[in-house]
Structure formats: C-alpha cells, structure tokens
Amino acid sequence: MKPSPTELPLLKALWAQTELSARELHGHVAEQLGWSLSSTRKTLDRMVEKGLVTTGERHGVKLYRPGVEKVSTLATLTRDFARSVLEVDGPVPASSFSGSRILSDVELAELEALLEEEAGE
C-alpha cells in the first residue's frame, strides 16, 4: 500500500521514533501539515485500515507503529515518481539519495538493491 502525500509525514515520524501516540505524532507534523489533532487522529485511523500503521497500547495510551517497511515503501514511491512524473522507464539511480537525512548507509544500500532489482525485471 502506497501512502498519500499527507500520510507520508506521519510514517516518516514513526520510522524515526518507532512508536508514538497520536498527540506525539501530531506534534511532529502539525506545523508541516497545518492540521488539528482531530485531523491527525482521523488520518491515523485511515492508515490503520490501510495497514500503513499498527496500534498497541501502553499504560492506557494508544500507540502507533509503522505497518510498512521504510526502504521498500520509499523504493515504491521513487519508482512511481520516476515513471509517472519523470517518465523514466529504466533504473532509478539510488545515488541520488546519498544526502538523505532519513536513510542510513545500510538503508541506502538496501534501496539501491531494490531499485536495481526492479530494473532487472
């Protein structure tokens, strides 16, 4: 499942923090999205239904966790962007992402492998 542009900031916060409450997530995205807490909660509910996030509970507080893996999700988004926007049919060079603040060196290597795998199919 591919996240929408408004769901992606929530996923990015969860990938960075692993587990957050709706209020904590809202604190991470409120300025960027300009949303109320209730809009964040509604979006999270929709993301749970889509399988993008999972929930748990600790001390009576509902917590959200990523339901999709970061690198494979980013690979899908990258391939879709390259095809639909840039009209690139061949491989997408992962070296374009070497300065990314959300990818470690290991994740960057994994992304490169996924993008090369797609190109070979």
Q: What domains are there in the chain, each with its CATH number?
A: 8-66 (1.10.10.10), 70-120 (no CATH)
pTM of the full structure:
0.80
The share of the chain scoring above pLDDT 70, in percent, equals 88
Q: Which residues pair with 58 in a beta bridge?
A: 61
Q: Name the pLDDT band for 77 (thresholds 50, 70, 90).
A: confident
Sheet with 61-66: strands ordered across: 20-21, 61-66, 53-58
Give mean pLDDT, residues 41-46. 96
Q: Which residues pair with 88 in a beta bridge?
A: none
Q: Name the pLDDT band for 24 (thresholds 50, 70, 90).
A: very high
Can you give the pLDDT at residue 36? 93
Can you give the pLDDT at residue 121? 55
52-82 burial, b at 16+ Cβ within 10 Å, e below that, comes to bbeeeeeeeeebbebbbebbebbbbebbeeb
Q: How far apart are CA 63 and CA 21, in angstroms?
A: 4
Q: How far apart are CA 107 and CA 72, in angstroms?
A: 10
Can you give the pLDDT at residue 120? 55
